[in-house]
Structure 1
Amino acid sequence: MILQAALLFAGLSVTASASTCCPPVRFSAVQHVTIVNSTFAKAALYSFIYDGINQRYVISGDLSDGFVSTTKVIYDYPKRTGYRIDTVARTCTTFHLQRKFKDQEGVCVPSGAVSLGPFFYGYGVGRLSSKGYSYNRTTVNGEHQNVVTTVTRKDCIPIVITTTTIGGQGGNALETLGYNDVRPGIRDFTVFDIPPYCTV
């Protein structure tokens, strides 16, 4: 099962009016997720494909399946619906998306975020110039979260996002998202196709 689904996070760089900065409107990445609370600890690795133009994204794969997985989760915000799909078993379950697309985990840095200043990863000619931000938010369940995000200085592409949740299910929690092998654009839009055996 895709961990994020159970817990609910070639374009030009754009900046929304309600955001400090946003990444390219379409990109693909490998996303490493670590989540720890008082009763639970999990690390997972996903393929993450983001389509900001059509307000949707898809996540597939995890460490227990060797990264290549038959399970994927599609988040379709215009339909306010998520789809958890197993392509081999031909099963599909749907769930309601309560947040707005612009509020979903880690993509845009919201306006009002506190700048933590410039950062650099690595050193020398290969160092990556980045910037950090911190902001607070409340989940749909009323939990308080503090988010610290580091993004590239040039295109606002997420590098590391750390979310601390106070008073969540299972107690306080820490979630870290790391983005690797980021590529602009989407190579195959069929990853967003909803199979006929999915019903809402």
Structure 2
Amino acid sequence: MILQAALVLAGLSLASGSICCAPKQFNAFQHVTYVNSTTTMRALYFIVYDGVNDRYLVSGDRSNNKFVGTTKVIYDYKKGVAYSIDAAARTCSKYSLQGQFDDQQSVCVPSDAVSLGPFFYGYNRHRLNSQSYTYNTTTADGRRQNVITTVSEGDCVPVVVTRTTTGGGEGNSLYVLGYNDFYPGIRDITVFDIPPYC
């Protein structure tokens, strides 16, 4: 569930009422940190995000921090199904997805976001120019969230997204999502092919 929430933060193309949005399709590594009063989770995943076709793929193993492996999960919201696939063991489990694909709800920087100013990563000609914004939102269950997002200047590629959520059954929580090796578009569309043993 936490990972699914993470993926909602993932994609940025201009939508009405937005300062900017990320590409609707991309490949990237995501480092996730989630902390509340009872839980701490850290994970590194490889994601292929396809907002055009309402699906995404996640590969990684949070138990031993392997981000390249033989296991992947495909979430296909158009079909309403997810597949957990282990290519080495040639096993596959299939289950129904609840809800709808949340295309870019938190991915775009909303027009009412407040600029926190420019940020720079690196130095000299290798410097990444970026902008940081803050805004407030409400979760589906009515909890308040403060979001701080840093995106690259010009193309709105996400760098870091931080969400602080207050109230609710879990109490206060902090969720940080960092991006690495971001590639706009999908390098290999066959990653979404479902093997015959599924």
Normalised by the shorter chain, which TM-score bucket? Answer: 0.7 to 0.9
Residue equivalent to 2:21: 22
Residue equivalent to 1:57: 56
Residue equivalent to 1:126: 126
SS of the residue corresponding to residue 156 of structure 1 reads: coil
Residue equivalent to 2:113: 113
The offset of 1:20, in angstroms, is 1.7
- For 1:18 and 1:76, how far apart are their aligned partners in 2? 27
- For 2:5 and 2:152, how far apart are their aligned partners in 1? 29
The offset of 1:98, in angstroms, is 4.6
- For 2:154 and 2:25, how far apart are their aligned partners in 1? 16
Residue equivalent to 2:32: 33
Whether the aligned pair in 2 keeps the contact of 1:56 and 1:76 (CA below 8 Å) is yes
Aligned residues: 191
Deviates more, 1:81-90 or 1:51-60: 81-90
- For 1:47 and 1:184, how far apart are their aligned partners in 2? 14
- For 2:168 and 2:186, how far apart are their aligned partners in 1? 34
The offset of 1:178, in angstroms, is 0.4
The offset of 1:64, in angstroms, is 2.2
TM-score, normalization by structure 1: 0.82
- For 1:194 and 1:18, how far apart are their aligned partners in 2? 37
Residue equivalent to 2:190: 190
TM-score, normalization by structure 2: 0.83
Residue equivalent to 2:174: 174
Unaligned runs of 5+ in 2: none
SS of the residue corresponding to residue 130 of structure 1 reads: strand
Residue equivalent to 2:95: 93
Whether the aligned pair in 2 keeps the contact of 1:3 and 1:44 (CA below 8 Å) is no
Q: In percent, how many aligned pairs have the same letter?
A: 55
